[in-house]
Amino acid sequence: MNRFARGIVATIVGASLWGLSGVFAQYLYAHYEITALFVTAVRTVSAGLVFLLYFLWRRRDLLRELLGDRASVRQLLVFGCCGLYTCQLTYIVAVGFTNAGTATVMQSSSVVFVMLATCLIGRRLPHAREVAGLVCAFAAAVLIATKGDLGTLQIPVPGLVWGILNALSVTFYIMYPHRLFERWGSLPITGLGLLVGGVLALVVWLAAGALWGATDGALGVSAAVPAFGWDGVACLAGIAVVGTLMAFSLYLHGVSIVGGLTGSLLGTMEPLSANVLAVLWLNTPFTWADWVGLALMLVTTALVSLGGAQGSGEAAPGAGGAPAAEGAPASEAGEA
C-alpha cells in the first residue's frame, strides 16, 4: 500500500472513530446514570494527558518554545476552553437528548456556519456551490427535526438547541486557531488544547457537583462517579482512547498526507459511521427522513468543501470538527 493510500485509510478510520464515540456515549446514557460533564472531563483529560506525554517525550523543544510565547498561550487557552471543551460538552449533551446519529449529523451542519462566517469575514456573497450546500443543509435539518412530518417537531427541543450549539462551537473550533496552526502546526495545538479543555472540564464537573448536587437531564451536575460494570468501563475507555485520542491522531496523520480538501470529504464518514453503528448495535430507530437527511448533509459537506477550496485556493479543514492538516490553514469552509 503506497503512502497516499495509507493516508486515505487513516483519514477514513479516524473520522469513523469519532462517530463511534457518540455511539459509546449513547450506550452509557441508556445503561448508566452518567452526566455530560463527567464524560467530557474523562474524555478531554485522558486525551490531553497522553498528548502532553508524547510532546514531553518527542517534541520537548517545541513545547518549551510554544509555552514561552505569551500571545500563543493566551490564544491556546481560548481555543481549549471556548473551542475544544464546549465542542465536546455540547456534543455529548446532544447525544443524551437525541441519539448518536442525529447529534453527529447536526454537528456536521457546522460546515454551513463556517461557510457563512467565511463569507461575512471576506465580505463576499456565497458561491453557487455554497448556496446549493446551504439549501441541502436546511432540507436535512428540517427532515431530521420533523422525521418527514413538516407540521410536527419530532426530536426534543433541548436536543435541537444543543445540536445547534454544538455546530456553532465546532465552527469556532475550526476557525479560531488559524494563526496558531500556521505557526505551530495542528497536532501540538490540538493536543495542548485538549489538555486545557480537560482541566476546565474537570474543574467544572467537580465544582458543579459540589455546589448543586445531582440533577436530571442529559447535562446533569453530579460529581459522583457511576458504578460502572465492565461494559461501562469499556465504553468510557472507548470514548477517551478510541473516539478521541486515536480519532484525532489518525485523522490528523491522514489529512497531512492526502490534504485538507480530500480529508474534509473523507471526514463525512463520521456521521455515516455514527448512524450505521447506532442502528446495528443499539437498534436506534431511523426513518427514511433520517437517512435522506444524512445523505443531504454529506452532499452539503462535499459542495461547501469543494466550493470553499476552489474559491480560496486553500485546503479546507475536515468535517466533524476536525482541524486542518499539519500546518494547513483552518479558516475556510468544510469533528468530538
Residue-wise pLDDT for 176-210, tens only, equals 888 888 888 878 888 899 899 999 999 988 887 76
pLDDT value, residue 230: 92
Q: Does position 222 have pLDDT exceeding 90, yes or no?
A: no
Highest mean pLDDT among 5-9, 63-67, 244-248: 63-67
Length in residues, the chain: 336
What is the Cα–Cα distance from 12 to 265, expressed in whole angstroms? Answer: 10
Task: State residue 265's pLDDT score.
Answer: 63
Q: Has residue 223 got a pLDDT over 80?
A: no
pLDDT score of 248 = 76
pLDDT of the residue at 231 = 92
Looking at the structure of the chain, the number of domains it has is: 1
Mean pLDDT of the chain: 79
Any idea which of 64-78, 89-103, 128-142, 245-259 has the lowest mean pLDDT? 245-259
Q: What is the rounded average pLDDT of the residues 215-230?
A: 65
Residue 35, pLDDT above cutoff 90:
no
Select the highest-mean-pLDDT range: 21-35, 67-81, 170-184, 300-314. 67-81
In-domain check, residue 336: no
DSSP state of 150: T
Q: Is residue 329 a part of any domain in this protein?
A: no
Q: How confident is the model at residue 220 (pLDDT cuts 50, 70, 90)?
A: low
- Give the domain range for residue 74: 3-321
H-run or E-run covering 131: helix 128-146
Distance CA 194, CA 323 (A): 13
Contact (CB, 8 A) for 189 and 177: yes
Mean pLDDT score, 38-43: 89
Residue 311 has pLDDT above 70, yes or no: no
pLDDT score for 4:
79
Burial bucket for residue 232 (CB in 10 Å: 0-12, 13-18, 19+): middle
What's the half-sphere exposure (Cβ side, CA atoms, 13 Å) at 303?
22
Between the ranges 38-52, 74-88, 102-116, 208-222, where is the mean pLDDT highest?
74-88
* 66 in a structural domain: yes
Q: Is 123 helix (H, G, I), strand (E, B) or coil?
A: coil
Dihedral, CA atoms, 175, 142, 14, 255, nearest 10 degrees? -40
Report the phi/psi class of residue 327: left, alpha or beta, with left for phi > 0 and alpha for psi in -120 to 50.
Answer: left
Cell representation of residue 100: 448518536
In a domain, 262, yes or no: yes
Arithmetic mean of pLDDT, 28-57: 87
In angstroms, the first-to-last Cα distance of the chain is 29
Tell me what pLDDT residue 224 has.
64
pTM of the model: 0.79
**pLDDT of res. 307:** 57
Q: Does residue 330 fall inside a structural domain?
A: no
Res 69: pLDDT: 92
Q: What is the pLDDT of residue 177?
A: 85
* Residue 129 · residue 333 · CB < 8 Å: no
Residue 221 is assigned to a structural domain of this protein: yes
Q: Does residue 333 fall inside a structural domain?
A: no
Decide if 126 is inside a domain.
Answer: yes
Higher-confidence residue: 28 or 222?
A: 28
Q: How far apart are CA 113 and CA 118, in angstroms?
A: 8
Task: Provide DSSP, 37-89.
Answer: HHHHHHHHHHHHHHHHHHHHHH-HHHHHHHHT-HHHHHHHHHIIIIIIIHHHH
CB of 12 closer than 8 Å to CB of 254: yes
